[in-house]
Structure 1
Amino acid sequence: MVDGWTVPGFTHVQELGGGACGRVMLALDDLTQTKVAIKYLDPRLNGDEAFLSRYRGVARRLSQLEDPNVVDFYELVESPQGTAIVMERVEGFGLRRMIATQGPTGPLAALAIISGTLLGLAAAHAKDIVHGTLRPSEILIDEDGNCRLVDFALASAGTEAQTAPAYAAPELWGGAPPGIATDLYAATAIFYECLTGRPPFTGRSQSAIAKAHREAPTPVEEVPGPLRDLIAQGLAKDPADRPGSAADFLGAVEDAAVAAYGPAWLAQGRGRLTELAAETARQPEPAPSKGRAAVPKPAPPGPAKTGGGGRGRVLAAALAVLVIAGGTAGGVLLLGGKDDDPPVGPAMSGTPEPAPPPTPSDPAAATLLGKIEQATGQAPGASFVYRRTGGGAATARGTFTLVPNGSPSYSMSVSGSGDTRRSTRAVIVGDTAYVMAGKTWRSAPANGQAPGYPTLVAQARWASSVGNVTALLRASTAFEQQGQIYKGTAAMDRLTADQSVGALYGHLSGATGAQQVAFALKLDRAGRPAHLWFRAQGADKARAQVIQATYSAWGRKAAIAAPSAPR
């Protein structure tokens, strides 16, 4: 137990740590056996009704936030015994531990860290979520060098500066509320610490630290010359002098990084960050501050109210682990290749001969297919997140609209590996992909044969389309329902013959040697896709490929048009 209670439906495994916000336990979901992290809020927060009232709204927005640079928020649980947050368990450690054991990260790794941090902040700010107390312990680093932000908005109003004094913007010390500008200030202070091994402003007391933030010159001379302007911008005393948004600041970071270290800076930075993560993992893990707990879950002492994402996202995470079968759940997805995916080869290119869509062999799959087609026809658009893993990385997020008798149109931001590591904007209309290169739109066929971003964009459309969901059901050879989850296997030869997604599965077949695809699907209450996972695995398990797509905000979306003046 923690302070006399345990979140119902979970069994504690051990304590992971604690801090000003509360204690964190590693726990197992009793239903799915999924590992999660549960933060039991400190009694000060639990007794602050103004904080709780505000945080309930934050929790709802966090539960809708799907971003590879933000730890997944599952649910907020309130009971007479306390308040807890159930969230994704990240296999990694806080940046604080890395700096403490390894010292300064070096400029390339530091640039990779602030890049991931700004991407996470940009996604949160787009949902009207401000972190407020960002510090190194709230940036988690996994073994692949990914940065994941956690613990958004966990401070009572007016206490943000005292909660994270080394990273608190001058205006926070004067009582101003946290906002985008204060998050960017904190991110820059962390960037400075990565470069130098210490925060930019220190003191023997909080009043001394506050004075330094307000009055001391920014110590830019302590950092490499090409990065000094970034530090000066982000740590500007006046919030109006800081970048206007996380996206704006990220653009400045990328420009400075390319100018100083070349176009491969991010790949090199993530490589160095991966090395530092491995070195940190080899160091003994500090003992939790209040001991460990490994106790069976008692009967709940009182009813608990849940908010935010609910148990559905925990079930979704469990299913992702099941489908990946030992891979990294919640990671980005892969379609093969050591770096970027090559264009579809000649044997896989072209459009399959028209043929009537096959009927699912299982009557339940046929019924489900009809339900999905009817539901999505009434709400022909959604927001989506696409991920791939398995030897490379790619992520896309944006919106799509279904087009009668045609391919869906997409507007997205996308990034991959190698030469496509930098996130860029893309649009697909009809058979053409439009990709932003610098400040110019470039066009290419959206057939998976144009190298680089056009192939990445085409694969994101195929994998996350409703047509892919229905293709898997039509090609299913085994199908069953387990609670809210539908599971099955689909024949690869039937998938490659599908007109809408055949090119995707042709590539997947060639990359893995798989003869069938295992898939799992969760629908929302209206019968529209909420989560989709599928895996292709041949005789060589090391070549197994996993794809994940998540959907939200179904409804009629504005028509997506081709950008003006593409070249």
Structure 2
Amino acid sequence: MAFTVVDGWTVPGFTHERELGDGAAGRVVLAVDDMTSTKVAIKYLAGALRADEAFMARFRASARTLSQLEDPNVADLYDFVEAPEGAAVVMQYVDGVALRRVLAAQGPTGPLAALSMLGGTLLGLAAAHALDVVHGAVRPSAVLVDGEGNARLTDFATAAPGTEAQLAPAYAAPELWDGAPATVATDLYAATAIFFECLTGHPPYAGRNMARLHREAPVPAEEVPGPLRELIGQGLAKDPETRPKSAADYLGALEEAAVSAYGPSWEAQGRGRLTELAAQAALQPEPPKPKPSRSSGRNQVIATGQAPARGSGNRRITAAIAAVVAAGAVVGGVVFVKSGDGDATPPTPSPAQSSTPQPSVPPGGVAPAELSARIVQAADQAPGARFSYRRTGCCGAPSAAQGTFGLVKGAEPAYSMTLSGSGKTRKRAPAVVIGDRVYLRAGKKWRPSPAGARGYPALAEQVRRGSSVSAVTTLLNAATALTESGGVYRGEAPVAALARTPGSGTLYAEMARATGVQQISFALKLDGSSRPVKLWLRAGPAKGRNQIITTSYSAWGRKAIKTPR
């Protein structure tokens, strides 16, 4: 199939398959990484955006942060690539359906599915807010529902400052209409407005003067089921100071309300219902593109400013691509795609163009022992970091965590994290790991367990083994080959050698047993001080029975992890 990209330029190293959508911000295509066969979505920025130097400067900085944001409820931004001929964002391709399409095809979702959607959205926002990233324009096209009913957030930084209300007027907090910047509070307001729409089939306010309605109209809480009215009242409060202080706080209120009204199994039931609705919506025709707003000033017609994906009607094509109303707005949409494809090897960047680190296979030999010693020395000078961890693949592997760790002389590193796995550990839980104890929070109390005990303690220990500095040096010290280019190192290490190393070696041995391989492939990106930025490793082939661990590191420095009380 032939199609045209912006100015005829394409990101090197990818084969384009088909167009997924376009809008004022640019055109999105489905592409395949020529080296890894990984499917990705590439958004080519429109010329008007590339010509806006202020916008480009802001987005370069945003892309660096967003590339470090790895969370089960956030779709990944892999890379931001620039060249004299154009600029593009390489994004995760996630199989599923945008919430906008679900609502257009199915109408109200019911309270359990709505609660599940809001819970996933808040988890994604909490992960972003922890890195000081504000979404700015949360709306139904930015919430994706995958085949397991998970709500995943995308389209971060799609609105230039001052344009947020125009981009998503039905979900814009009152202060945005007054020119205030987007904040945590405006994100929570928008998430609540979407929650209201899931419950009722329409946003909380509709009319020709959206600014006045958001500022002055009473919160229509009486339209939703009684047990959920307090959540609506909190999230849609006119004064941002009276909204929940954080996404985590709001999530706690949601869980209390849901359990009280619908019982402890509300989450599983809601996720199941959301999965059914998404599957049914995927079989329906794509909803028509909303008409853009033609009004200005304080009289705003409802206009989402979102362009649905176009194409063959295949159920994997979604309306996740956002069109930007104002010329200063930025990229954004991550297209909803098959998680197995998205979890494969990250896309390889063009060496002179990429602004974010990704594994590559460059020529050139490196001495593993020397590199390992440099990393240890650098970590000793900055003994701790923020981290984001994800394990995907077969054999019960899926797990994710994020938080901070601190290195302890002569002992295992200490961790403070939020983590989740599969089965009985699917729900996200806060944990602190110090020495041989794992502390899990139950309500307002912390309960200690032996590290490695079944359930969350075992999951926490797995995260520590897979993300610590010793995990990096273990791979290097056992490597039989190592190459480097542009600060990215890639190599292989035999499982037999890895398994002899205490701690992290056990994890590699487990991965090898599950996948039946004898070698672990890995790639490592370091910063200018020889501290890890990103670690990627795989047991098994690129396609088929494999397990993959990806860990990102940032904010290196001394981290104090204290025993909870």
Bin the TM-score by the shorter chain.
Answer: 0.7 to 0.9
Contact map agreement 2:39 2:342 (CA 8 A) in 1:
no
Q: Alpha-carbon deviation of 1:233?
A: 0.9
Look up the equivalent residue of 1:91 and give its one-letter code. D
Distance 2:178 2:557 in 1: 44
**Aligned match of 1:514 in 511, 516, 535?**
516
Contact map agreement 1:517 1:534 (CA 8 A) in 2:
no
Q: Which residue of 2 aligns with 1:412?
A: 417
In structure 2, do the counterparts of structure 1 residues 76 and 480 end up closer, same or farther at CA, with 3 Å as the change threshold?
Answer: closer
Q: Secondary structure at the match of 2:204?
A: coil
Aligned ranges for residues 58-457 of structure 1 at < 5 Å? 58-77=62-81, 83-203=87-207, 205=208, 207=209, 209-284=210-285, 321-322=344-345, 364-389=367-392, 390=394, 391=396, 393-446=398-451, 448=452, 450-457=453-460
Distance 1:290 1:499 in 2: 50
Task: For residues 407-442 of structure 1, give each alpha carbon's deviation from its aligned partner in whole angstroms, at most 9, with x where no partner exists.
Answer: 111111122334433323221121111222111111
Q: CA RMSD in A?
A: 3.5
Q: Which residue of 2 aligns with 1:298?
A: none
Q: Alpha-carbon deviation of 1:24?
A: 1.9
Q: Which residue of 2 aligns with 1:460?
A: 463
Distance 2:15 2:287 in 1: 23
Q: Alpha-carbon deviation of 1:253?
A: 1.1
Look up the equivalent residue of 1:86 and give its one-letter code. V
Q: Which moved more, 1:455-464 or 1:215-224?
A: 215-224
Q: Which residue of 1 aligns with 2:325?
A: none
Q: Alpha-carbon deviation of 1:244?
A: 1.5
Contact map agreement 1:473 1:490 (CA 8 A) in 2:
no
Look up the equivalent residue of 2:460 and give its one-letter code. V
Q: Secondary structure at the match of 1:130?
A: coil
**Aligned match of 2:7 in 1, 4, 7?**
4
In structure 2, do the counterparts of structure 1 residues 509 and 72 end up closer, same or farther at CA, with 3 Å as the change threshold?
Answer: closer
The answer for unaligned runs of 5 or more in structure 2 is 289-306, 313-329, 332-339, 348-364
In structure 2, do the counterparts of structure 1 residues 76 and 534 end up closer, same or farther at CA, with 3 Å as the change threshold?
Answer: closer
Q: Which moved more, 1:231-240 or 1:142-151?
A: 142-151
Q: Which residue of 1 aligns with 2:337?
A: none
Contact map agreement 1:132 1:152 (CA 8 A) in 2:
yes
Q: Secondary structure at the match of 1:201?
A: coil
Look up the equivalent residue of 1:467 and give its one-letter code. S
The answer for unaligned runs of 5 or more in structure 1 is 294-306, 309-316, 325-361
Distance 1:259 1:78 in 2: 51
Q: Secondary structure at the match of 1:384?
A: strand
Distance 2:484 2:275 in 1: 38
Q: Alpha-carbon deviation of 1:392?
A: 6.2
Q: Alpha-carbon deviation of 1:497?
A: 4.0
Q: Secondary structure at the match of 1:249?
A: helix
Q: Secondary structure at the match of 2:549?
A: strand
Q: Alpha-carbon deviation of 1:506?
A: 6.3
Contact map agreement 1:96 1:137 (CA 8 A) in 2:
yes
In structure 2, do the counterparts of structure 1 residues 257 and 416 end up closer, same or farther at CA, with 3 Å as the change threshold?
Answer: farther
Look up the equivalent residue of 1:514 and give its one-letter code. G
Contact map agreement 2:383 2:559 (CA 8 A) in 1:
no
Distance 1:277 1:291 in 2: 18
Contact map agreement 1:323 1:520 (CA 8 A) in 2:
no
Distance 2:128 2:229 in 1: 26
Question: Is 2:488 the partner of 1:487?
Answer: no
Task: For residues 156-203 of structure 1, give each alpha carbon's deviation from its aligned partner in whole angstroms, at most 9, with x where no partner exists.
Answer: 333221211111112222332222221111100111112222212112
Distance 2:95 2:118 in 1: 20
Higher relative contact order (CA 8 A, sep 6+): 2
Look up the equivalent residue of 1:15 and give its one-letter code. E
TM-score (norm 1): 0.77
Aligned residue pair count: 495
Distance 2:506 2:85 in 1: 54
Look up the equivalent residue of 2:137 and give its one-letter code. T
Task: For residues 436-476 of structure 1, give each alpha carbon's deviation from its aligned partner in whole angstroms, at most 9, with x where no partner exists.
Answer: 21111111111x1x233222211111122232333344555
Contact map agreement 1:381 1:555 (CA 8 A) in 2:
yes
Distance 2:166 2:29 in 1: 25
Distance 1:461 1:201 in 2: 47
Contact map agreement 1:51 1:157 (CA 8 A) in 2:
no
Q: Alpha-carbon deviation of 1:404?
A: 2.5
Look up the equivalent residue of 2:520 and give its one-letter code. A
Q: Secondary structure at the match of 1:4?
A: helix
Q: Which residue of 1 aligns with 2:326?
A: none
TM-score (norm 2): 0.77
Q: Alpha-carbon deviation of 1:485?
A: 4.2
Q: Which moved more, 1:36-45 or 1:461-470?
A: 36-45
In structure 2, do the counterparts of structure 1 residues 404 and 41 end up closer, same or farther at CA, with 3 Å as the change threshold?
Answer: same
In structure 2, do the counterparts of structure 1 residues 363 and 105 end up closer, same or farther at CA, with 3 Å as the change threshold?
Answer: same
